[in-house]
A and B are shown apart, each in its own frame.
Chain A
Amino acid sequence: MVAVLFSLAASGCGGSSSSCPTEVPPCPTPAPSFVAEVNPIIQTTCVPCHGPGGVEANRPYVTYEDMKVHGPFVTMYSQVLGCRMPEPPQQLTSSQRQRLLEWFACGEPDDRLASVDGGTDH
């Protein structure tokens, strides 16, 4: 139980910088998939605010192109790295935060076309 509570605390930002990464992670091989891994996290945790009707709707993250223009990516990267985003009540688990950071570190690869062609998507 204690371990579960610790895990939950570590996954959110909640003002505790000690649970945040202390350095920029490297790009893994293979890079995280935007379609299968990254976009579902963004749609769940970012778009409620950065989407229609959200308090940051003027800075939308609904599509890849939205993020590229309105993020921009490096700002999103920094905000996630510093546990400044997402803000409560949205939360990222440690593994979600890690995968997002790895995707940013890889240069935000866009695998949507590959997925349509029968690549990485299910």
Chain B
Amino acid sequence: MLECLAAASCGSSGGQPSTADAAVMGAEDTHCGSGASLMKQPVGICYTDEAPANAASCEVEFQPNAAAAAPDGGATSDDAGAASDDGGGSSDYGDTLSNATGYDDDCKYQLSWTATPVAVGKDVTFTVTATRLSDGKPAHCAGVSAEAFLDNTPAVPTRASSEMGSSGKYAVGPLRFPQSGQWTVRFHLYEECSDSMEDSPHGHVAFFVNVP
């Protein structure tokens, strides 16, 4: 398994394309700005009725959903803005990004990814590193999950995720792509947190992934 994960960041392996081939190269993600003008949204309270058992060590405050209904429960998210029906690449979830690093739609996290060799019908495991922009700390306890789409058809998504210590680095998957093409792979962070508050830890970032 470790060899498998290591291979993901080491170029082609055994003739199978890996991250360097799977990432669709393009313009750098600047939707949060760049350099000194980089927007860094703080991460607020996670409203959920499913707080993790190790919540105390997560550096995220968890409160039950009922608390979000209080008058001062926080700002309502504007995630519900105009959307397009483009096969999951955009809409409320933000645009799909090129390359293998970028920011979530709300500018709370930076994500980077590598993958085991990508091929049709193969189990692909992603290694995702998530960092909070506001303080540069690892996004610990994020329970990163992944889903994938090609046009208007999804692959069977995965919630299988394990964090390597408290590093904000996650092994996610496997995902299996049933056909070749330029897929959209969307990673979700803190999915158990209600997304109705603007500063919810809940976040998502989508990348184009080339499946040969």
Contacts and interface: CB of A to CB of B under 8 A. Distances in A.
Interface of A: 17, 20-24, 55-60, 68-75, 77-79, 81-82, 84, 105, 107
21 contacts: A20-B156, A22-B156, A23-B156, A55-B47, A58-B76, A58-B77, A60-B80, A69-B82, A72-B85, A72-B88, A74-B88, A74-B149, A74-B154, A75-B91, A75-B186, A78-B148, A79-B147, A79-B157, A82-B147, A82-B157, A84-B191
B195 interface: yes
B83 interface: yes
Given A24-B156, A74-B154, A78-B149, A59 B79 contact: yes
Interface residues of B, number: 37
Query: Which DSSP category, helix, strand, loop or mixed, fits chain B's interface?
Result: loop
Query: Which DSSP category, helix, strand, loop or mixed, fits chain A's interface?
Result: loop
Contacts of B152: 73-74, 77, 107
Contact of A75 (B80, B82, B88, B195): B88
Interface of B: 47, 65, 68, 76-80, 82-88, 91-93, 145, 147-149, 152-160, 178, 186, 191, 194-196
Contacts of B155: 24, 78
A102 B114 CA distance: 33
B106 to A, nearest CB: 13
Nearest to B68: A55
Contacts of A75: 88, 91, 93, 147, 149, 186
Given A22-B156, A58-B80, A77-B154, A72 B65 contact: no
A55 B194 contact: yes
Nearest to A15: B159
Contacts of B65: 55
* Residue picked from B148, B154, B158, B196, most chain A C-beta under 10 Å: B154
